[in-house]
Structure formats: structure tokens, C-alpha cells
Structure 1
């Protein structure tokens, strides 16, 4: 089962097929990663918080 490389959360095979770069078997950032965004080939901090609370 694939896991996010950043936070180790479970991600589905379908999520990996859609969001992982070609040739990777997992994602670098997932919806559970607070304040992280994919930008091209990199992962960066969000300019504004994605989650409040």
C-alpha cells in the first residue's frame, strides 16, 4: 500500500496514479500534509495556511 513520502499517511493506488510523477510509486505530498503544496517537481510551504484551527 502506498504512503505519502512527507507525512506517511495512507494514499490509494488511484491517488498515486493521478498525482505522482511518472515513474514514482508514491506521492510526495497528500491532502493530509498541512501547509505543503506540490509545485512542479518540488514540494514547498504554502504561502497561506490550508487549514485553520
Structure 2
């Protein structure tokens, strides 16, 4: 009786963890792209000022 709900929880939590890891990877890549764009914009502004 005790093993049933534990197994169900394990099965339900594993895909949830994988989706979190996928979202985290997407967020990291988006943040990286935004940081790259900010650096490019900063370079353009600095070159225009000079």
C-alpha cells in the first residue's frame, strides 16, 4: 500500500524536474543573448561618442 503513492510521486516528479531543467537552460541562453546584445549596444554607443 505504501509503495503505490511513492511510485506515482516519483513518476510525476521526474518529468517535472526535466521540464524545469529545460526551462532553466532556455533562460540561461536567453540571458546570454541579452548580455551579448547589451555589450554590442554599449560598443556602438561608445564608438558614436568618440
> Structure 2-normalised TM-score?
0.17
Which structure shows the bigger proportion of residues in helix conformation?
2
Higher relative CO (Cα under 8 Å, sequence separation at least 6) belongs to: 1
Which structure shows the bigger proportion of residues in strand conformation?
1
